[in-house]
Structure 1
Amino acid sequence: MERVPLSVLDLATVRAGHSSTDALLGTIAVARAADDLGYRRFWVAEHHNMPAVASTNPPVLIASVAAQTRTIRVGSGGVMLPNHMPFVVAEQFAMLEALHPGRIDLGIGRAPGTDQMTAAALRGVSPYLTVEQFPDHLRAVLALLGDDRIDAGPTARLRATPAPESFPEVWMLGSSTYGAQVAAALGLPFCYAYHFAMGSDVDRALELYRSGFQPSPRFPEPYPMVSASVIAAATTEEAIYLAGPSRVMVQSLRTGRLGPIVSPEEAADLDPELPGTQYAGTAEEVVAGLDDLIERTGARELMLAGTVYDPATRQDTLARIAKAWGM
């Protein structure tokens, strides 16, 4: 059976008793492992004002990760465009592409990725206003990065500099049908955030993406990717134990009592009866679940997420799945 490529999503999670520096160094270590194992991409998320997440500024973290890896593509999963001016985003990623030609992805999301007060502080305006402007701002980013299909309008005289010899690969991210339709209209690859939207309609979103896809020079055909949260261990019981912190994280998000990632031992004591990691088990069990996900969605690539206490657990998970995947 021919396997689709696998990629990695990371949030630089901060664990209890450790610092943000520890979290960021852990992300770099996971990226190096993913590079060595043959994963296709390594993306970092954008979240703000969350004690458990150190990944607040994707371009800065991407620069560090790309400098310390060799061949893996590095990008954002994603840049939350309502938080930023389009010209700033375009210049940041033009510079990253100039520094690391052919290795940079710009994944773009429509949600602010934070609470309303923080979103307003990031841009100095109402987050509702910037979300409404999202389609125009996305098109502006594409035009600034050299997409000649886009009518640049007022930005026609601008170009993101330094001028690279290649351009970052722009992705649309989403957990709804909206993002799928935007990606289809613009001929962009689309990543569905199934890892935190398991109850949403991934099937409908990807159906709309495929049926409405308008070919573009870089992507003549639809290219859907789906993310999923995974933990693989030597036994099913160990994987479920290691997934405990993800269940506590879900509980903290629902209750608004945010804090660093707790240890598996503390999570076992708290024992929240909530869904956490979607696929937790032996590598063979996880791969079987991922095979079913591919068959269901027709994804041409999978992105593996996962909330764990120790970065070493993520590295072990990636190594086990890579072996079982035949990478």
Structure 2
Amino acid sequence: MSIKLSVVDQSPVHGSHAKIEAPRLTVELAQLCDELGYHRFWVAEHHDSVHFANPCPEIMVASIASVTQRIRVGSGGVMLSHYSPLKVAECFKMMETLHPGRIDLGVGRAPGGSGLTSHALAFPHEPHHGDLYAHQAQMLEGFVNGTLPTDTPYHNIKVLPDSSPKPQLWMLGSSGGSAGLAGHLGYNLALARFIDPDNCSPSIFHTYSEEWKKAGHEGTPNTMLAIACICAETEAEAKLRAGTAVYRKFAAQMGQREDFLTPSEVRDRYNAMSASHQAAYDHILNGYTVGTPEQCWQEIEQLAKAFDCDEVSTVTVTHSHYDRMDSYRLLAKHL
């Protein structure tokens, strides 16, 4: 199987750099991945986070597209419940106009932050907590592709004077809840295994494919599996570097929030944990793809085969920006 390797980047706030540097480091990583031959580079959306520094993916996508040459650039994703479908369509169709054939518009249902930030983003209105997501996604598809029904009041709205450029539409999911909707509306589907590997099964893509066929869409939809991956020269070093991301997830499950810990700090805390907490930590680690380039690629190929998809996207979070760049360099040797 020929696998396209892509990137979903969360703009982590590395302990190795000042916090204000995090967005710039994402742009730097995107330029590297463009040179290394990665297929796409997507950016995530987070609000009120101490760990991730990108609340506005549309700005980051535009910045990255302007300083890269070949790689597709997009959102993974825009948290659509906060926004007007028309405005999202305007932003991404404009980017596709300026960077033809390179822009992806991925959307998700999750809030990307706390309940308080959802209220602030919706002000002066009340947040709808995703209850209107299906309707928003349908409207967004209509605005992007010019397919709004003639009996809707928005049918004659011109997104741009020349509205022909169309970003590639994707929907994000982590446990199957959006698969049927994506297939019904004709979105491509990205499955975020890195969020919830325990509930992320190949059957989700099957459900999606069946809904796509049932809706009568033409062509073959694109599917992508997004995984957490940390690569290093040795397996021991990869596991050590992975500790930063694994402990953040473990701490979140414990209701704790603090800046990223160094790998050595994580190791010390792990050694001081109870057996049950060590087991919980190990379970999270087992959901990551961690190891040498050969080990990581072996697992990537196994996952691609199991999920019957030819594109895998990697999410790499480390304490050091150097380690993040190094992981992508090592993986790229097998592209």
With 232-241 and 258-267 compared, the bigger mean Cα shift is at 258-267
Partner of 1:320: 330
* TM-score, normalization by structure 1: 0.92
SS of equivalent to 1:155? coil
1:47-86 paired onto structure 2 within 5 Å: 47-86=46-85
Partner of 1:185: 184
* TM-score, normalization by structure 2: 0.90
- Total equivalences in the alignment: 323
For residues 232 and 150 of structure 1, what CA distance do their matches in structure 2 show?
A: 48
Partner of 1:294: 304
Contact 1:6 1:40 in 2 (8 A): yes
Contact 1:188 1:219 in 2 (8 A): no
Structure 1 residues 17, 260: closer, same or farther in 2, change over 3 A?
farther
Structure 1 residues 144, 217: closer, same or farther in 2, change over 3 A?
farther
For residues 146 and 91 of structure 1, what CA distance do their matches in structure 2 show?
A: 12
SS of equivalent to 2:170? strand
Deviation at 1:315, TM superposition (A): 1.8
Contact 1:15 1:262 in 2 (8 A): no
For residues 78 and 264 of structure 1, what CA distance do their matches in structure 2 show?
A: 28
SS of equivalent to 1:250? helix
Partner of 1:280: 290
For residues 26 and 64 of structure 1, what CA distance do their matches in structure 2 show?
A: 12
Letter in 2 for 1:307: V
Letter in 2 for 1:236: E
Deviation at 1:130, TM superposition (A): 4.9
Contact 1:145 1:159 in 2 (8 A): no
For residues 38 and 105 of structure 1, what CA distance do their matches in structure 2 show?
A: 17
For residues 247 and 218 of structure 2, what CA distance do their matches in structure 1 show?
A: 40
Q: Which of the numbers 314, 321, 329 marks the counterpart of 1:311?
A: 321
SS of equivalent to 2:197? coil
Deviation at 1:62, TM superposition (A): 0.8
SS of equivalent to 1:52? coil
Contact 1:229 1:279 in 2 (8 A): yes
Structure 1 residues 319, 259: closer, same or farther in 2, change over 3 A?
same
CA offsets, 1:84-125, max 9 Å, x none?
111111111122112211111000101111111111111124
Deviation at 1:311, TM superposition (A): 2.2
Contact 2:44 2:57 in 1 (8 A): yes
For residues 29 and 152 of structure 1, what CA distance do their matches in structure 2 show?
A: 46
Partner of 1:198: 197
Structure 1 residues 130, 91: closer, same or farther in 2, change over 3 A?
farther
CA offsets, 1:104-163, max 9 Å, x none?
100010111111111111112443x25111111111111112342756722112132364
For residues 199 and 119 of structure 1, what CA distance do their matches in structure 2 show?
A: 27
For residues 16 and 60 of structure 1, what CA distance do their matches in structure 2 show?
A: 24
With 149-158 and 111-120 compared, the bigger mean Cα shift is at 149-158
Contact 1:94 1:163 in 2 (8 A): no
Contact 1:13 1:54 in 2 (8 A): yes
SS of equivalent to 1:230? strand
User: Within the alignment, does 1:113 sit opposite 2:112 as a pair?
Assistant: yes
For residues 168 and 49 of structure 1, what CA distance do their matches in structure 2 show?
A: 28
For residues 144 and 215 of structure 1, what CA distance do their matches in structure 2 show?
A: 23
With 76-85 and 252-261 compared, the bigger mean Cα shift is at 252-261
SS of equivalent to 1:214? helix
With 169-178 and 280-289 compared, the bigger mean Cα shift is at 169-178
1:101-180 paired onto structure 2 within 5 Å: 101-124=100-123, 125-127=125-127, 129-148=128-147, 153-161=152-160, 163-180=162-179
For residues 252 and 110 of structure 1, what CA distance do their matches in structure 2 show?
A: 24
Contact 2:244 2:262 in 1 (8 A): yes
Partner of 1:244: 243
Partner of 2:6: 7
Partner of 1:90: 89
Partner of 2:226: 227
Q: Unpaired segments of 5 or more residues in structure 1? A: none
For residues 224 and 4 of structure 1, what CA distance do their matches in structure 2 show?
A: 12
Structure 1 residues 150, 107: closer, same or farther in 2, change over 3 A?
farther
Structure 1 residues 170, 150: closer, same or farther in 2, change over 3 A?
farther
Partner of 1:16: 15
Contact 1:209 1:222 in 2 (8 A): no
Percent identity of the aligned residues? 31
Structure 1 residues 176, 258: closer, same or farther in 2, change over 3 A?
same
Letter in 2 for 1:255: M
SS of equivalent to 1:199? helix
For residues 43 and 235 of structure 2, what CA distance do their matches in structure 1 show?
A: 28
